[in-house]
Amino acid sequence: MLYLDDLVVGARYEAGPLPVEQDEVIAFAKRYDPQPFHTDPEAAKGTLFGGLAASGWMTASLTMRMLVDSGTGPAGGFIARKIEAMEWPVPVRPGDTLRATSEVVEVLPSRSRPDRGMVRMRTETRNQKDEIVQVLTALLVVHRRPAEDAHA
């Protein structure tokens, strides 16, 4: 777990890999984003995507899963105060394998709440071809190291 005190601008953290399965793409879309290019491989062929594509919201969820599983997350969890930007430049396809890289862009200690601060993180999610499939910039609330752990 990382505290605000551990984070420096330019630090990078890796997460993944995570494979994308067709049945999971379809199940997620049927429940949360039921559009034919996400739910029906045959119908998807005649769409802008030219085949089945994962919902962008699934891509965001898969990225979150990788970040949490990486073990290098903020103490107290990933608590987003604000999503500043989210882009999906290339669709995620069944059979892709994703990985994510997060970079600390800014560290902002709080002046009014000395036990925490904000960290601006930019996370790129890439597929096995090294294509960027998602870019996420978020402002996270991050705890400072507790006083009893300050020497750690």
Q: What is the rounded average pLDDT of the residues 76-92? A: 96
Q: What was the pLDDT predicted at 115?
A: 94
pTM comes to 0.92
Percent of the chain beyond pLDDT 90? 91
Which runs of E-coded beta strand occur in the chain? Answer: 12-19, 79-87, 97-109, 116-126, 132-143
Angle at 21 between CA 66 and CA 46, to 5 degrees: 120
Q: How confident is the model at residue 152 (pLDDT cuts 50, 70, 90)?
A: low
Q: What is the rounded average pLDDT of the residues 34-53? A: 98
From 3.40.50.1370, 3.10.129.10, 3.30.565.10, 3.30.540.10, which CATH number describes the 4-19+55-149 domain? 3.10.129.10
Query: Are 2 and 73 contacting, i.e. CB atoms less than 8 angstroms apart?
Result: yes
What does the alpha-carbon distance between residue 31 and residue 79 come to, in Å, rounded to a whole number?
Answer: 25
pLDDT over 90 (residue 148): no
Q: What was the pLDDT predicted at 151?
A: 57
Q: How confident is the model at residue 150 (pLDDT cuts 50, 70, 90)?
A: low
